[in-house]
Structure 1
Amino acid sequence: MAMSAAAVVTSFAVASPALAYNESWKTDDGDPGGVVYWTADNDIVKICDIEADGWAVAAVVGHRLTNGTLAFDYQFYVGGNGNCADRKASEGATFNLPENQNVRIGVCLMKEDWAVVDYCDWNEVSN
């Protein structure tokens, strides 16, 4: 009986909607230390530190204006191998990105509270 309950719990964990995302990509270093996940539904940007390398993981988020220039929306970071952080539209206006526009998201490695930012990988996604 205990085995059946464990199997049911495991199957729910795998099927959880929290695990669904539209796209992901990693930092641009040789052994990536960070990953970002993008979910268009509720404009969720999630970053995770995936390596004990002394670097934090940072996200920089913006969108394209109608004239093609990039508007900066927000940035955030998380440090410590295995730690993740996210921002989503439900948190307020700053995080509620314009609909039907491309969103530009960079995932980078960071040291010293934005003093050193490197190994960025950028992607433009549909919102």
Structure 2
Amino acid sequence: MRFGYVLIRVALAALVGLGLVAALQAPVQADGPHPRSTGRVGTAVAAESWDEQMHTDDSDPGGRVRFRADGDVAEVCDVEADGWAVDFQVFFDAPMQDFVIYEYQIGGSGRCQVLRASLGSPYDLAENQIYGFRICLTRSGGELRYCDYAYWRA
């Protein structure tokens, strides 16, 4: 009787082991490319889900921002290996001045950062409000250059 019990335990352990090996070898389904393969930072968001997109105004745009109002998702990317970093701002356009709600900088060709409402304040924008979005290039925290801006509804 004891021999049968041991045999069953060994068989179960072997089956569990085979299942674990199979699970580890199975391909992983993801929302996008593996973050380490592209230099991306943050969570990838499906390309077809963007409401708006904008690039820096240099001759070969080095920066890109894409925005989706549902979830206030902004993806900021440095797309060129040119020594410039991308500066991204979301602002409220008030009479005679802009009030910056948040600003983010990222550098390094191919690096992106996803900012979203689920990160909390200041990324959670008021619904149905129009905000200003600005994307620029900068070197070593210097002057902002090649800026483009737009007004989008969150």
TM-score, normalised by the number of residues in structure 1: 0.79
Question: Does 1:124 pair with 2:124?
Answer: no
Instruction: Give the Å deviation of 1:18.
Output: 2.8
Regions of 4+ moved over 3 Å: 67-70
Q: Which runs of structure 2 are paired with 1:69-84 in the superposition (5 Å)?
A: 70-84=98-112
- Number of equivalences: 117
Q: Which runs of structure 2 are paired with 1:5-84 in the superposition (5 Å)?
A: 18-19=46-47, 20-64=49-93, 70-84=98-112
SS in 2 for 1:75: strand
Instruction: Give the Å deviation of 1:102.
Output: 0.5
Gaps of 5+ in 2: 1-26, 33-43
Tell whether the 8 Å contact from 1:63 to 1:101 is kept in structure 2 after alignment.
no
Write the deviation string for residues 51-84 of structure 1: whole angstroms up to 9, x where unpaired: 111001110111245x686431000011111100
Instruction: Give the Å deviation of 1:91.
Output: 0.8
Distance across 2 between alignment mates of 1:17 and 1:84 = 11
Gaps of 5+ in 1: 1-5
Tell whether the 8 Å contact from 1:63 to 1:97 is kept in structure 2 after alignment.
no
Distance across 2 between alignment mates of 1:81 and 1:92 = 27
Tell whether the 8 Å contact from 1:63 to 1:103 is kept in structure 2 after alignment.
yes
Write the deviation string for residues 22-78 of structure 1: whole angstroms up to 9, x where unpaired: 11010011111111001101111111111111001110111245x686431000011
Question: Does 1:94 pair with 2:111?
Answer: no
Instruction: Give the Å deviation of 1:17.
Output: 5.6
